Chains A and B, each alone.
Chain A
Amino acid sequence: MLKRLLEYVGFEPGRLTARWISASEGAKFASTMDEVTDKIKSLGPNTKMRDEIL
């Protein structure tokens, strides 16, 4: 739901990833993290909501 809302206000699809991974699924965790970092690197730096915070 949040992912859809974020895309609706103009965030790139893939900027947010949510995955359910059990503590016993080490390999799945590692491969998911690789996918996420690759995805984020290909999207480049986020420009939305990046103003200086107080």
Chain B
Amino acid sequence: MMNLTKQIREQAKKLLEEKKVDLVIGFGQGTELARTTPVFIDSPEGVSALTWGPFCANNLAKYLVDYKNAPGNVAIVVKGCDSRSVIRLLDDNQISRDKIVVIGVPCAGQLEWQKVADEVKPDATLKETVDNGDSFVVKTSTGDHTFNKKDYMLHRCLVCENPNPVIADFTIGEELPVKNYAERFAEVEELEQLGLEEKSAYWDKQFSRCLRCYACRNVCSVCTCELCVFDQMKPMWVSKRTNLSENTVFHITRAFHVAGRCVDCGECDRVCPMDIPIRKLNQKIHKDLKDLFDSPTPGSKEGLLSALGEFSLGDPEEFM
């Protein structure tokens, strides 16, 4: 992993020195061992802040939207899942291709930082991380720890579809094989099997916890409306009240608004402070899109139309 970090830094340095880009967005070591923070680097001297490893869970693609009207070009470090977001942003005309430089890094999976932090001494500092295929070895100042991917990875990484970036101007390191540790839609299917009352009770329990902090919306790389219906006061389309009914409206609306564009990066799930399984709503939509229209995951190829923005005569017509 150290090697990859070095290569990312070199690439970033080169781009900045040659003035190909004015800014590099990447991952930097956070205040805790098992966390990284987004870093924004505008000078070749700053590239030492960049890092890479199994703690780079953030999808940085959303930041590109902030720079769409800014002068200069932007380079961004992406994993496979993040690269789907980049494609989706390009296809949605949110950013122009000549404005961005994509530094793609094949990703061996991301660990859940809480689980790692529970086992590593709080004052330990990170020395190195090594990918051993089915596990990561995290070397720290207080000893080495081995983390099984199956047990310690983010849930979304267990069903990873694109470990290798699907769009990249520069690829860092070797391509990795697709390796899944679970069935992609197993959780959705489990929920679908439940009776009506049970389903209702399950989601009521989840939605009633929602704080309406909108972290899921803010982090989402396909939520790019400049004025969001949930912020609007005049007219106030949706009530701001935080109760079960309004939270249900919010979650169904949010999920459906990104239907056919959601790239299944799982960031909504990760950022939720109340641990609401938001991704299960989007995964249901992914599953239905696959069943009904046989559509691939949005963003997995360049030039795909949004699944619900496309019409073919062979589409099932349940409403005729």
| A10 touches which of B199, B246, B284, B308 (Cβ 8 Å) | B199
* Bound complex: CA A20 to CA B319 (Å): 6
* Given A51-B245, A53-B245: A5 and B200 interface contact (C-beta under 8 Å): no
Q: Find out whether the CB atom of A9 lies under 8 angstroms from the CB atom of B256.
A: no
Q: Find out whether the CB atom of B320 lies under 8 angstroms from the CB atom of A54.
A: no
Residues of B contacting A8 in the complex (Cβ-Cβ under 8 angstroms): 191-192, 199, 281, 284
* Bound complex: CA A48 to CA B285 (Å): 21
List which B186-217 residues lie within 8 A (CB) of chain A: 191-192, 196-197, 199-204
Query: Which residues from chain A sit less than 8 Å from chain B, CB to CB?
Result: 1-12, 18-20, 48-51, 53-54
Binds A, one of B79-87, B99-107, B235-243: B235-243
Render B237-265 as a binary contact track against A, CB cut-off 8 A, 1 for contact.
Answer: 00111011110110110011001000000
The residue in chain A whose Cβ has the minimal distance to the Cβ of B202 is A10
The prevalent SS among residues of A at the interface is loop
* Bound complex: CA A51 to CA B245 (Å): 6
> How many Å from the CB of B196 to the closest CB on chain A?
6
Residues of B contacting A11 in the complex (Cβ-Cβ under 8 angstroms): 200
* Bound complex: CA A20 to CA B199 (Å): 29
Q: Find out whether the CB atom of B288 lies under 8 angstroms from the CB atom of A48.
A: no
* Bound complex: CA A54 to CA B60 (Å): 36
Q: Find out whether the CB atom of A10 lies under 8 angstroms from the CB atom of B201.
A: yes
| A9 touches which of B199, B292, B318 (Cβ 8 Å) | B199
* Bound complex: CA A54 to CA B317 (Å): 37
Q: Find out whether the CB atom of A10 lies under 8 angstroms from the CB atom of B203.
A: yes
Q: Find out whether the CB atom of A53 lies under 8 angstroms from the CB atom of B246.
A: yes
Q: What are 23 A-B residue pairs whose CB atoms fall within 8 Å in the complex?
A: A1-B289, A1-B308, A7-B196, A7-B199, A8-B191, A9-B203, A9-B248, A9-B251, A9-B252, A10-B197, A10-B200, A10-B201, A10-B204, A12-B196, A19-B319, A20-B320, A49-B245, A49-B249, A50-B245, A51-B243, A51-B245, A53-B245, A54-B240
List which B287-308 residues lie within 8 A (CB) of chain A: 288-289, 292, 308
Q: Find out whether the CB atom of B285 lies under 8 angstroms from the CB atom of A1.
A: yes
* Given A8-B191, A20-B319, A54-B241: A1 and B259 interface contact (C-beta under 8 Å): yes
Q: Find out whether the CB atom of B239 lies under 8 angstroms from the CB atom of A5.
A: no
> How many Å from the CB of B8 to the closest CB on chain A?
39
Q: Find out whether the CB atom of A10 lies under 8 angstroms from the CB atom of B289.
A: no
Residues of B contacting A9 in the complex (Cβ-Cβ under 8 angstroms): 199-200, 203, 248, 251-252, 281
Since A5-B281, A10-B200, A51-B241 are in contact, a sample of 14 more A-B pairs with Cβ atoms closer than 8 Å, ordered by chain A residue number, is: A3-B318, A5-B259, A8-B284, A9-B200, A9-B251, A9-B252, A10-B203, A12-B196, A18-B319, A20-B317, A20-B319, A49-B245, A49-B248, A53-B239
* Bound complex: CA A19 to CA B281 (Å): 24
> How many Å from the CB of A43 to the closest CB on chain B?
11
Q: Find out whether the CB atom of A5 lies under 8 angstroms from the CB atom of B243.
A: no
Residues of B contacting A49 in the complex (Cβ-Cβ under 8 angstroms): 245, 248-249
List which B75-123 residues lie within 8 A (CB) of chain A: none
Residues of B contacting A20 in the complex (Cβ-Cβ under 8 angstroms): 317, 319-320
> How many Å from the CB of B105 to the closest CB on chain A?
34
> How many Å from the CB of B255 to the closest CB on chain A?
7
The residue in chain B whose Cβ has the minimal distance to the Cβ of A13 is B196
Q: Find out whether the CB atom of B285 lies under 8 angstroms from the CB atom of A5.
A: yes
* Bound complex: CA A12 to CA B197 (Å): 9
